[in-house]
Amino acid sequence: MIEAKQDLLKALATAIEEVSPASALKAAFESPKLAAHGDLACTSAMQLAKPLKKNPREVAQALIDALQRQPAAARHVDAFEIAGPGFINLRLRASARQAVVREVQAAGSGFGRVSDNGRKVMVEFVSANPTGPLHVGHGRQAALGDAICNLFETQGWAVQREFYYNDAGVQIATLAASTQARLRGHKPGDAQWPESAYNGDYIADIAADFTARKTVQADDRAYTASGDIEDLDGIRQFAVAYLRHEQDLDLQAFGVRFDHYFLESSLYESGQVEATVARLVAAGKTYEQDGALWLRSTDYGDDKDRVMRKSQPGGLGSSEYTYFVPDVAYHISKFQRGYTKAINIQGGDHHGTIARVRAGLQAAGVGIASGYPDYVLHKMVTVMKGGEEVKISKRAGSYVTLRDLIDWTSRDAVRFFLISRKADTEFTFDVDLALKQNDENPVFYVQYAHARICSVIAQYLEKSRDKSGAAAAMANADLTLLNAPTETALMLKLADYPTMLASAADTLAPHDVTFYLRDVASAFHSYYAAERFLVDDAALMQARLALLAATRQVIRNALAVLGVSAPEKM
């Protein structure tokens, strides 16, 4: 069916050109909301009607006439219908619908994927400063970012996963001071405990390991503790390495990896921040006022000019530059490394950063297109357990950690749930729901469909004396026997997979994959309830099992995009 849709899209493009030669309208089909409306729908007639100054139904008929002159229509379409104000509904031939089973069989795990497009993209996500355990917001970033990376890989992109963090700022100084206070024997609640200190149990763990002169190894750094309570810089470096290691463990438990770690301090050490400021000054995009250096960001659509430097520069990594200045330098670095497309996954509190960073990049005059980088901003997560909101983790001291969610439920549930809504919507993670083993739990519902298919196919193979022959018979089944309404609905849903992937990548919408999986699972469960599979008619049995195997493959492929497992037994 994928081939049929591609052929029909080309035919529709030709028909649009014939009916409206000056139109730039792109050929596109939609899936009708009701099966009774056909297999494919087209809204082109309504879009062309106004510029053509014609009735939409008249344009629809002209498009149908043009389509029917195309060989693809004769080969794949059983009937055309005009509905409502000018919708064109297409009913495909049974052979076109059934072809998707063969297409899935042939492509296997590559079904839905396209070949290398020669382009590369950097996706920056999580980017948590090493000041404590990863919280559930970081978990949402990790799930979103990893799924977006996987989506782009299905579309032929070379993807770089990058983690950006600061190891020398105010928060890191607070971390070092908190650890030193613990080393001096103080604890939260004591009169000597710093007011701004971090209070979680992990601070005591860092202090204990520092005293023991342990060595910690993270993905991007290692450090051996001196054990000297007065060695504040050593305490800082050990604490950073310790918490980076903790983050690595959390991310490994979540199945997330990174290709590169980028330090904010390196932007100062390498002179990239100063070079960026000098470039903006030389371009005439800054001015001095009230002792501060300002960026003329209003020239690029910002609501007001932004302060770049509140005072004259001090030492390495000092805070004289406002926080968006190193961000500008960092994104110039991304661009200069060849990433003409970059995506940032960040919390909603970064909304105000977008305009000023993009303004700085435009003002720098290094050839970066407007709208660079792309942003996916997510809202925070509320955690419910036992009908009550959970706000505090003993280990973190003030928030629920990603590890808490994984320990309470499972990696699969956390990943699926955190991707299952648009990033910019509030999300409530219901721990009790994530533990349910029924159709109320969406990840269970989808995984159970996969396991159920595995069970049916396993029963078929176990009953066969020649298992390889039975598998071959299933692979070469007579698909013309697949004509039941539930079979048609399932095959149409499978055929939507490549288009859904492309759209989800284009719109940075991994939640579309979760919606799709639930639809496929629903179509399968309806099929399972309506038909028997291990029937006496061998040809019919093999055809139905071939459809089940294709469904299993598509579910497995889609779950892999989300980083969720596809269990064979449940």
> What is the rounded average pLDDT of the residues 11-22?
94
> What is the rounded average pLDDT of the residues 139-168?
97
Per the listing, tokens 């994927």 go with 113
> What is the rounded average pLDDT of the residues 311-336?
78
Confidence (pLDDT) at 51: 93
Question: What angle (nearest 5°) sits at the alpha carbon of residue 562, between those of residues 351 and 380?
Answer: 30
Q: What are the structural domain ranges in the chain?
A: 2-92, 170-249, 270-378, 439-562
CATH topology agreement for domains 2-92 and 270-378: no
Structure tokens at 428: 């409530």
439-562: which CATH topology?
Isoleucyl-tRNA Synthetase; Domain 1 (1.10.730)
* C-alpha span between 13 and 229 (Å, rounded): 73
Whether the ω angle into residue 373 lies within 30 degrees of 0, i.e. cis, is yes
pLDDT band at residue 394 under the 50/70/90 scheme: low
26-64: pLDDT as tens digits: 999 988 888 788 899 999 999 999 999 999 999 999 999
Position 393 pLDDT exceeds 90: no
Position 319 pLDDT exceeds 70: no
The residue ranking higher by pLDDT, 92 or 1, is 92
Q: Please count the other Cβ atoms lying within 10 Å of the Cβ belonging to residue 211.
A: 14
pTM: 0.91
Q: Please count the other Cβ atoms lying within 10 Å of the Cβ belonging to residue 388.
A: 8
pLDDT band at residue 395 under the 50/70/90 scheme: low
**In this structure, which CATH number among 3.30.70, 3.40.50, 3.90.550, 1.10.3470 belongs to the domain 270-378?**
3.40.50
Position 211 pLDDT exceeds 50: yes
CATH class assigned to 2-92: alpha beta
Residue 185 CA, chain-centre distance (Å), reads 44
pLDDT band at residue 315 under the 50/70/90 scheme: very low
296-310: pLDDT as tens digits: 999 998 999 999 998
pLDDT band at residue 316 under the 50/70/90 scheme: very low
Question: What angle (nearest 5°) sits at the alpha carbon of residue 428, between those of residues 147 and 248?
Answer: 45
